[in-house]
Amino acid sequence: MTTKPLPHLTPTGTCWCGCATKVGAGSFFAPGHDKVAEAALLAAEYGSSVAHLLHGHGYGPGHSVSARAVAKGVWRKCPSCAYVGALAGIANRTRKAHPATPVADPT
C-alpha cells in the first residue's frame, strides 16, 4: 500500500458536518460535530461497522491498521508492552501501566 499525502484543506467558516453552523476561522467543526460527522460517515458508508470501514481500506486481521499508523510515524508503540496509539496516549498510559519506565520525548 502506498502513502499518498493528504490534500490541504481549508476551513470555510461553516461546520463541515453539514449542519450549517458558523464556526470560527481556523475551525472545521462546531464543538463535538467532528465526532457526529465521523459517526455519520461510518453509518452512511459502512453500515456503522468499523470492520467494514477497515475492510474498505484494505485492513483487517491480516493487515494491521495500527501497525500501519506506527509505520507512518503518526502513532508510536509503547516500548514496554504491545500498546500502540497516539503519542499523548502512550505517555498517559505508560505513566499508569509502567510507572518506572521513562517515556522518551521525541521533540
* Residues binding Zn ion (CB under 5 A): 15, 17, 19, 21, 30, 33, 78, 80-81, 83, 97
CA dihedral 70, 85, 96, 61 (to 10 degrees): -90
> Phi/psi of residue 104, each to 5°?
-65, 130
Least distance in Å: CB of 105 to Zn ion?
16
The CB-of-43 to Zn ion minimum distance in angstroms stands at 15
Question: The C-alpha cell of 20 is what?
Answer: 450549517
- Closer residue to Zn ion, CB minimum distance, 15 or 76: 15
User: What is the Cα–Cα distance from 19 to 23, expressed in whole angstroms?
Assistant: 11
**Closest distance of CB 45 from Zn ion, Å:** 18
> ∠ CA(39), CA(41), CA(42), 5° rounding?
65
Q: How far is the CB of 24 from Zn ion (least distance, A)?
A: 13
Of the pair 54, 98, the CB lying nearest Zn ion is at 98
Shorter beta-carbon distance to Zn ion: residue 1 or 104: 104
Q: Where are the beta strands (DSSP E) in 5-75?
A: none
